[in-house]
C-alpha cells in the first residue's frame, strides 16, 4: 500500500540514505597509494538549491514567507533558497507563469497551491507527488483538524502540506470614519451595510474601496455576497459543477447586490490592487473593503493595530459562517531538488514554521497546537470562529474550484465590475459551471 511514487534512487536520496550509502562506499575504497600525486583542485561543490514558487509579494505575505525561509535556513544553512514570486493576488498571474513552466518540464521544487479543489488541477495533470506517507511519518495527520485533512485528499492521497487557514469573508473598516458618521458598530446585515454606505456618501467619504488590478478583487467580493444571499447550505451547491444553482433567482439577486456595492465604490477599480484598496481604508481614504485576512497581514506589516487603527467584522449577512481557504505547498513531480523540497515541506508543516509564518501573514495555523502567545486578538478570534462557525469554501481561492473554473470566475466578475451587465455575467456564470469538473 505504498502511496509515494518515488523511484528507489529518489527515495534513498530523499530520506537521507543516499548520503549514508555514499559514505559507506567511500570507506570501502582504500586509498591508491601507488598513484602519482595530483595538483590540488579547488572544491567544485555547487551550492544546494531550493526553489519556492508563490505570489506572496505584498506586505504581510512577503514577511510571512521570509519568516518561514528563516526557519528553513536555520535548519539547512547550506541551501540557497530561490524565492520565485510572481506578483498578483490570488495567483492570477503566478498560475499562468507556473503553467508555462510545468508544460515546459521546468517545475519549481515546490509551489503555493490552495488546498481543496484547486489541487485537483495539478494532480489530474500528473504534476505532483503524493505525500500521504510523508504526512504520516511527520505526524502531521495527528496535529491538523480532520476537516482540513479531508480537504487535502484527492483519489485517497494527500498531495500538499497546508501552512494556514485564511478567512475570506471579512469586512475591514476605518474606525475613525465610522465615528464620523456616528456608527457605533460595524454592519451585520447587507441592509445595514448599504444604510451605512449611504451615510458615508452623504458625508463625502468613499464607502467602499474595491480593487481589480490583481483580477480577483471583484470575484472575492462576490463570493461573500453569494454566501450572504444563498446561506451556507445552498451556497455550497453553487460549486457542484452544474448550473442548477446559477439558475436560481438568488444568483441574479447577488449580482445586483454587487452592482449596488460597486455604485458606492471607487470607479478606478481596475487601477487598484487588493493591497491598494486596503491601504485606502487604513489611511482613511475609504471607509470599508471586503477582503480576506491577508489584509490583516498588510496592516501588521505597516505596524498598525487591529481593533484600534482598523476594525473588522464578518462580511454582513455571513456572521454565522467562516469562509475558509488554505495555502499549501506540494512536491513537484520531477522536482530538481527533491531532498531540499522535502526539507521545505517539513518546515511548512512544523509548529515552528507555522508559528513563524502565520502571525505575520494574518492567517491562523493549519495545526491545532499553536503557541497562542504569538497570535493577536484578531487571530485568536479567528481560531475560535474556525472551530465554532459553519464552514464554507472559497471559490476565488481554490477551496471549491479548479484552476480552469477559477480563471473564468475571476474574469467574468472583473468584466462585470467594468460593464455592470448582470444578464451577461449570469449567462457566463451558467456556461462556466461545468469547468469546475476539470
Q: List residues binding ligand GAL (CB under 6 A).
A: 55-56, 61, 89-91, 114, 166, 292, 294, 325, 327, 397
Return the number of the residue (194 or 405) whose C-beta is nearest ligand GAL.
Answer: 405
Return the number of the residue (177 or 272) whose C-beta is nearest ligand GAL.
Answer: 272
Calpha distance 284→57 (Å, rounded): 24
Residue 289 Cβ vs ligand GAL, minimum distance, rounded to whole Å: 13
Residue 56 Cβ vs ligand GAL, minimum distance, rounded to whole Å: 6
Partnered with residue 392 across adjacent β-strands are 323
Residue 327 Cβ vs ligand GAL, minimum distance, rounded to whole Å: 5
Residue in the shown chain whose Cβ atom is closest to ligand GAL? 89
CB 226 within 8 A of CB 233: no
Residue 403, helix vs strand vs coil: helix
Specify the DSSP element, H or E, that contains 321: strand 321-325
Residue 362 Cβ vs ligand GAL, minimum distance, rounded to whole Å: 9
Calpha distance 410→435 (Å, rounded): 13
Return the number of the residue (13 or 166) whose C-beta is nearest ligand GAL.
Answer: 166
Distance of CA 50 to the CA centre of its chain: 21
Specify the DSSP element, H or E, that contains 226: helix 217-235
Residue 328 Cβ vs ligand GAL, minimum distance, rounded to whole Å: 9
Return the number of the residue (243 or 293) whose C-beta is nearest ligand GAL.
Answer: 293
Residue 140 Cβ vs ligand GAL, minimum distance, rounded to whole Å: 19
Return the number of the residue (13 or 213) whose C-beta is nearest ligand GAL.
Answer: 213
Closest CA to 405 of 434, 430, 376, 384: 434
Return the number of the residue (114 or 389) whose C-beta is nearest ligand GAL.
Answer: 114
Calpha distance 287→258 (Å, rounded): 17
Q: Cα separations (Å) of 332 from 5, 104, 216, 220, 335? A: 12, 13, 26, 28, 5
Partnered with residue 165 across adjacent β-strands are 364
The alpha-carbon radius of gyration of the chain (Å, integer) is: 24
Return the number of the residue (81 or 278) whose C-beta is nearest ligand GAL.
Answer: 278
Calpha distance 65→54 (Å, rounded): 9
Residue 114 Cβ vs ligand GAL, minimum distance, rounded to whole Å: 6
| Cα maximum dimension of the chain | 95
Amino acid at each position: 500500500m505504498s502511496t509515494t511514487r518515488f523511484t528507489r534512487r529518489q527515495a534513498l536520496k530523499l530520506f537521507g540514505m543516499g548520503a549514508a550509502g555514499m559514505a559507506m562506499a567511500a570507506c570501502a575504497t582504500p586509498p591508491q597509494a601507488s598513484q602519482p600525486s595530483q595538483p590540488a583542485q579547488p572544491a567544485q561543490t555547487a551550492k544546494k538549491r531550493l526553489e519556492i514558487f508563490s505570489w506572496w509579494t505584498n506586505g504581510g505575505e512577503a514577511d510571512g514567507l521570509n519568516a518561514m525561509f528563516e526557519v528553513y535556513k536555520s535548519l539547512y544553512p547550506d541551501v540557497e533558497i530561490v524565492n520565485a514570486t510572481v506578483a498578483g493576488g490570488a495567483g492570477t498571474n503566478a498560475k499562468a507563469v507556473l503553467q508555462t513552466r510545468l508544460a515546459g518540464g521546468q517545475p519549481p521544487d515546490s509551489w503555493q497551491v490552495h488546498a481543496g479543489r484547486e489541487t485537483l488541477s495539478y494532480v489530474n495533470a500528473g504534476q505532483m507527488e503524493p505525500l500521504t506517507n510523508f504526512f504520516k511519518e511527520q505526524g502531521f495527520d495527528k496535529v491538523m483538524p480532520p476537516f482540513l485533512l479531508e480537504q487535502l485528499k484527492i483519489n485517497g492521497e494527500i498531495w500538499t502540506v497546508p501552512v494556514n487557514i485564511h478567512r475570506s469573508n471579512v469586512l475591514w473598516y476605518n474606525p475613525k470614519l465610522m465615528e464620523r458618521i456616528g456608527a457605533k458598530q460595524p454592519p451585520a446585515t447587507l441592509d445595514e451595510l448599504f444604510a451605512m454606505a449611504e451615510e458615508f456618501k452623504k458625508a463625502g467619504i468613499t464607502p467602499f474601496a474595491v480593487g481589480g488590478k490583481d483580477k480577483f478583487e471583484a470575484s472575492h467580493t462576490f463570493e461573500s455576497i453569494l454566501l450572504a444571499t444563498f446561506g451556507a447550505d445552498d451556497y455550497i451547491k453553487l460549486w457542484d459543477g452544474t448550473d442548477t444553482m446559477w439558475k436560481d433567482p438568488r444568483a441574479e439577486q447577488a449580482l445586483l447586490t454587487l452592482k449596488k456595492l460597486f455604485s458606492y465604490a471607487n470607479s478606478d477599480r481596475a487601477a487598484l490592487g487588493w493591497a491598494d484598496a486596503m491601504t485606502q481604508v487604513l489611511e482613511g481614504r475609504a471607509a470599508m473593503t471586503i477582503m480576506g485576512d491577508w489584509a490583516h497581514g498588510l496592516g501588521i506589516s505597516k505596524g498598525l493595530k487591529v481593533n484600534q487603527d482598523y476594525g473588522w467584522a464578518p462580511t454582513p449577512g455571513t456572521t454565522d459562517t467562516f469562509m475558509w481557504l488554505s495555502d499549501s505547498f506540494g512536491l513537484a513531480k520531477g522536482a530538481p531538488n527533491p531532498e531540499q523540497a522535502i526539507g521545505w515541506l517539513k518546515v511548512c508543516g512544523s509548529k515552528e514554521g507555522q508559528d513563524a509564518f502565520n502571525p505575520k501573514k494574518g492567517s491562523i495555523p493549519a495545526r491545532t497546537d499553536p503557541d497562542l502567545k504569538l497570535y493577536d486578538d484578531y487571530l485568536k478570534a479567528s481560531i475560535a470562529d474556525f472551530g465554532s462557525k459553519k464552514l464554507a469554501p472559497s471559490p476565488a481561492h481554490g477551496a471549491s474550484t479548479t484552476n480552469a473554473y477559477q480563471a473564468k470566475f475571476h474574469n467574468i466578475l472583473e468584466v462585470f465590475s467594468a460593464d455592470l451587465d448582470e444578464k451577461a455575467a449570469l449567462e457566463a456564470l451558467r456556461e462556466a459551471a461545468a469547468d469546475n469538473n476539470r
